[in-house]
Chain A
C-alpha cells in the first residue's frame, strides 16, 4: 500500500492522537463555570496560544471552527456581510478561478443569493496569480470591494501564490485579504502577522491533526458576521460547544508541523523530486503541472496525455496505490479539474490528470511502488481512452 494522497488527508501525528485521546477522556464543557469546565477552558486557551504562537498571530485572533470549509465560508460570507453592512456599496468580491470549492462555492452563493459581483483574478499557465491584476482590479473598484480572497497554495497543482505581495496590494486600498492556507501550513513558512493578511484558514487533518477541527485567524479589526448563531463562543463570531479534545490535538499538530516545517520540506521535496524525475522517465509524454519552483514540497501533479484520470486511478488503486484525480461530483463522477481549466488546459488534459501528494509518513518505497505500477497502468488507460472516439 502506497499512500500518495496526503493532500486529501494525512495520518495523525502520534503526539496529536495521544493528546486527543487523553483529552477526550476528560469531561468538561469549556463554557461551564465549575472546575471541569475551567479545566476544559484552560486546555482550549492553551491550545489557542500554541496555535497563535506557531502561526504568528495573537491568541485573540484565533477562532476555532469545524474545519477548513467552515473557516472559508466564515471568512468569505462573514466578512462580505459585515463590510456590506458597514457600507452598502461594498458588494464586490475579488477571488481567483483556482480557489478550492469551499471558497469558490461560497463566492458563487453570494452572487446568487446576495447580489454580489465578482472580480476574478486569472491564473497563468503555472496556476499563479499576479499582483498587477489585483492592483488593476482594486484601482478600478476598491471602494466597492468587500474582500479579496486568494489561496496561499493550490491544493491540486501545488503552486504557491505570492500571498504577501497580494496582501500588500489589498492593504494599500484598505481591503481585507483572506487566504485559504490549508495546504500551506506545515509545508511552507506561514506567518499571519508578517504576511499582512486579514484572515487565514487552517485545518487540522492536512497537517497531522484530527478531521473536523480547524481555525480562522481573523485580525481584531476585521469584522465578520457569524454563520452559526448560538452560545456566542469564539468571539461571538462562531457559536457551538468547543471541541476540546479536537482543539488540543489540532494545536499539538500545528505546533509540530510548523516546528518541523523546514526539515520536513527538505526531506519530502527531495522525495517528490525523485518521484517527478522517475515518472518523467517512465512516461516521457507526461506533462508536469504547476509552478516548477514555487510549489508545495509534497505535491506532484501530472497530465497523462491520451489517458483518463479516473481510469488511471482505478488501475493504480488495484495495485495498492492511492492518488487523486481532483474533485468528484456528488454522485462520485470524476470531474475535469477547474484549476487546470483555469490554467488554460483543455478538457482532455484536465481529465487526464493525477495528483500524487507526499507527506510525513512517505518513504522511498512509496515512490518505488508507484513507478513499478505506472507504465502498465498508463498503457491500459490509454487503450481504454481510445474507445471514446467515434464508433
Chain B
C-alpha cells in the first residue's frame, strides 16, 4: 500500500512509520503543523506541535529513509479542536481535545487529503490494535492504551487506518527506537493539552471566555457556599480548587455535581451525589459489528484512563443509553462513553458516543 505516516516528532509515530516500511508499504511521512504560532505551544518533550517536534519528526524520517513533508493544518485544528474545546467548556461540558483531533483532523482532514493524493491509508503511532478482522482493540500495554480516543472513528475511517504499535508495550517501542537509531527513543511522553502552553486550562479558558463571577451553591441546603470567576472552569467530579467559604454541615468533602452555564452556577455536594447509574449519549458510532437492535451486555469506559464498568448498552433513535451495573462517580457531559466487549485477544471496541447526561 501507499501509506501516509503522521509523524508528531515523538517516539511512537517514528517507530510506527519504520514498521510500516518494514511491512513493505510505500511510506511518506507528514508532520502536521497545528499551531498558528508555534512558540505558544508546548515545547519539545511535552507537546507535538513545536518547531522542535517538527525537526524531530524530520530527523526520524531521514533515519527511516522516507520522504517527509509538513502539512499546515493550523486553521482546521483551531476551528475543529481549539474553538470546539472552548465552546464545549462554555456550554458546561468537558471535552476531550485528543479525541476531537482524531475525529476531525488526523482521520478526517489528513486522511481525506491523503486519499485524494493517492494514498491508501494513514499510519499513526497510537497504542491500539486494528487487525485484519477490522476490529479496534485495546493495546497490549493497558497503561498506554489509546483505544478510548480512537473509538470515535467510523468504519470508513478505520478501514483506512493502520496502527502498527498495538501489539507492543511502550517499553518495547522505546527499545526498538533505540535499536533503529532514532534519536527520539528516550524523548519523554507528551502529556496534557498541546495548545495550552503552561498547562493552565483555567487560565486559557479565562483568556478566551472572560471572567464572570458567580455562585457556588450547595445542592443539599441550597445555600451559597462560595464564589467563582466562571462556571466553565469546573468539571463534574472536581474536588480541588473550589475555595469554599464554609465546610459542609457533616464536615465531609464536597465535589462539583453540575455546572449551569445559563445562571453561571456551580453546584457542589457530597461524593455519593455524583454517582450515576444511567448514561445518555449522542452521535453514536458502532464499529464492533452490525448495529445492534437489542440491548448489548458489555463494559463501558466513561473517560480517558477511567474505570471500566459492566453495563447494558442500547442504541436508540436519537443516541445511546447505558445502564451501569454499579454506579460511577464523575461522569461529565462532553466526554465519550466507549463500549468494549471483553476478549482475551484484546478488548474490542464496540462503539462510542458523546455523553449528554
Contacts and interface: CB of A to CB of B under 8 A. Distances in A.
Interface stretch (B69-77, B85-93, B134-142, B210-218): B69-77
A313 B54 CA distance: 19
Interface residues of B, number: 18
21 contacts: A311-B113, A314-B67, A314-B69, A314-B117, A315-B117, A317-B67, A330-B51, A331-B31, A331-B38, A331-B70, A332-B54, A332-B58, A332-B69, A333-B70, A333-B71, A333-B72, A334-B72, A380-B117, A380-B118, A384-B113, A384-B117
B69 A310 contact: yes
Q: Which of A311, A314, A315, A330 has the most CB of B within 10 A?
A: A314
Given A331-B70, A333-B72, 10 more contacts: A311-B117, A315-B117, A331-B31, A331-B38, A332-B31, A333-B71, A381-B117, A383-B116, A384-B117, A387-B112
Interface of A: 310-311, 313-315, 317-318, 328, 330-334, 380-381, 383-384, 386-387
A332 to B, nearest CB: 4
Contacts of B33: 331-333
B265 interface: no
Given A331-B33, A331-B51, A332-B31, A387 B109 contact: yes
A330 to B, nearest CB: 6
Interface in B5-62: 28, 31, 33, 38, 51, 54, 58
A308 to B, nearest CB: 9
A313 B113 CA distance: 14
Nearest to A376: B118
Contacts of A334: 72
Contacts of B67: 314, 317-318
B54 A331 contact: yes
Q: Which of A310, A330, A331, A386 has the most CB of B within 10 A?
A: A331
Contacts of B31: 331-332
Nearest to B53: A331
A334 B117 CA distance: 17
A384 B118 CA distance: 9
In the complex, the 8 A-B pairs of residues with the closest C-beta atoms, listed nearest first: A332-B70, A384-B116, A383-B116, A333-B72, A331-B54, A333-B33, A384-B113, A387-B112
Contacts of B72: 333-334
A1 to B, nearest CB: 13
A225 to B, nearest CB: 31
A270 to B, nearest CB: 32
Nearest to B75: A388
Contacts of B51: 330-331
Given A310-B69, A380-B116, A380-B118, A318 B28 contact: yes
B281 to A, nearest CB: 22
A313 B68 CA distance: 12
Nearest to B74: A333
A384 B111 CA distance: 10
A311 B113 CA distance: 9
Interface string B82-126: 000000000000000000000000000100110011100000000
A313 B116 CA distance: 14
